[in-house]
Amino acid sequence: MAAELADEYRARGVTGPPERTVLDVVPASLGGDGTGWRVRYVPFNGGGPVPADLVARGGRQRVVVTLGTALSRTAGARYVDRLIEQAATVDADFLLALGGADLAPLGELPPSVGRLASRRRRADLRC
């Protein structure tokens, strides 16, 4: 990358980094080699309002479960069935953010498990 930016560095009268720098997106608690700069991956998928019932803190911890949009779309909710079974034994509220995945195969959800209604992406809206 430094070689690609050499002209930019010269134009601004600065030198590039003296050596390569690794951006390590792995949290320290999960490992990584520790030689790079620790950074946090923060995705941005567009803005939108926060549902009113999620703004206030509840009386219990809240756990949000997501598989990402691609896996939710292709696999549905089948990968969360064991989590759903265990949710009833944990003192927490679980919120499934699974997009439009069909939850019917999971049967009746425990009272501590709710679904975050999917919202349409701006790209999906036709004006």
pTM score > 0.85 for this model?
Answer: no
| Mean pLDDT (the chain, rounded) | 77
Residue 92 has pLDDT above 90, yes or no: yes
pLDDT at site 120: 46
Look at residue 53 and give its three-state secondary structure. Answer: helix
Nearest to 63 by CA among 39, 49, 82, 84: 84
Shortest CA distance to 99 belongs to which of 122, 63, 66?
66
Taking only the tens place, the pLDDT of each residue in 15-44 is 877 667 777 887 778 777 777 788 877 776
Q: How confident is the model at residue 113 (pLDDT cuts 50, 70, 90)?
A: very high
